[in-house]
Structure 1
Amino acid sequence: MAWFYLVLAGLLEIVWATAMKQSAGFTRLWPTGIMVVGMIASFWLLAIAMRALPLGTSYTVWVGIGAVGAFIVGIVLFGEVVTPMRLLAAGLIVAGIITMKLAS
């Protein structure tokens, strides 16, 4: 169950990071509110996952899901540039997440 909570926490990290972008420097109410709620929920689920999983694994996987997810959202929703080097970097992050899971 800890891995479920950890993945959900990582997905919520994508939500709050996207909402932060949409908040325009905290000048828009709804995106700012979504960001705050998403951030609290993400941290709470991360803390629950850390009851059963090692700190290093939990934090690395959480950040990795958020980073790769935000990368994908940036491309899909915001038209950010896709280059081979950026794709390689995201692929290496995914490889690290998989390796952490296998090592646990």
Structure 2
Amino acid sequence: MSWLILIVSGILEAVWATALGKSEGFTKVVPTIVFGVALVASMGGLAFALRDIPTGTGYAIWVGIGAAITVAYAMITGTEPLSLVKVLLLVGLVGCIVGLKLVSDTAH
């Protein structure tokens, strides 16, 4: 259950990071509210997951999921330029996230 919560929390990190950018310095109400709700939910989920998952592994996976989704979303929506190098780097990042999960399961 902790791993599922960690993954959802990583997704919510991408939500709040994207909303933060769209809030234009907290001057737009809806993105600011989305940012606040997603931030609290993401941090709460991370805190819950870290009760069972080692902090370094959990945090790295949470950040990696959030970063990968945030960049992928920005490229899909055209906010950030799409390039083969960025896609390959994201694939590598996702591979590292999966690797951390797999190594974490065998480390006990």
- With normalisation by structure 1, the TM-score equals 0.94
Question: 2:46 corresponds to which letter in structure 1?
Answer: L
Cα shift at 1:89: 1.4
Structure 1, unaligned runs of 5 or more: none
Alignment pair present for 1:57 and 2:82: no
Query: Structure 1: how far apart are the matches of 2:58 and 2:13?
Result: 13
Aligned residue pair count: 104
Query: Structure 2: how far apart are the matches of 1:39 and 1:57?
Result: 20
Give the match for residue 78 of structure 2. Answer: 78
Question: 1:59 corresponds to which letter in structure 2?
Answer: Y
Task: Please identify runs of 4+ aligned residues in structure 1 that moved more than 6 A.
Answer: none
Structure 2, unaligned runs of 5 or more: none
Cα shift at 1:83: 1.4
Structural RMSD (CA): 1.0
Q: Which 10-residue stretch deviates more, 71-80 or 26-35?
A: 71-80
Identity %: 39
